[in-house]
Amino acid sequence: MAKHYPQTPDGRYFVAKGRLWRRSDPALSEQARARRVKQLMAARRAVKHAESDEQRKAARADVHDAKVALGERGAVWWTDGAPDETRKKPENSRYAYWWRSLAPESRDAGGG
């Protein structure tokens, strides 16, 4: 069963392991998103199965490139000038009020 992580009201982040993680760019078409996710999964498998430092480094670069293409890393995909708060604890971000307002079981799903 898939785990459902809390998502910020503006849809920019989800919370996992007690941290904010940027979501994929919603402007991507479903076809483009699926293609990039497939590339990301292949790159993650390549990291796992790398037999040398060079292969591992190249595979990690491919993971990064796929995440940038998805909008999860690199320049933010929103246009209102809000800063990127990836990896922040929600209680230490501009989402603190929202985070405190969640039911305990919802915060627990995000590992907070």
| One domain, residues 9 and 31 | no
| One domain, residues 67 and 34 | yes
| One domain, residues 53 and 33 | yes
| One domain, residues 63 and 33 | yes
**Residues of the domain holding 62:** 27-71
| One domain, residues 49 and 18 | no
- The pTM of this model reads 0.86
| One domain, residues 16 and 43 | no
Q: According to DSSP H, which parts of the chain are helical?
A: 30-49, 53-70, 96-101, 104-109
Which tens digit of pLDDT belongs to each residue from 11-70? 999 999 999 999 999 999 999 999 999 999 999 999 999 999 999 999 999 999 999 999
Count how many domains the chain has: 2
Domain-embedded: residue 107? yes
Q: Which residues, other chains included, contact 62 with Cβ-Cβ below 8 Å and sequence gap of 6+?
A: 39, 42, 43, 46
| pLDDT reported for residue 42 | 97
Compute how many other C-beta atoms are within 10 angstroms of the C-beta atom of residue 71. 21
C-alpha span between 90 and 37 (Å, rounded): 26
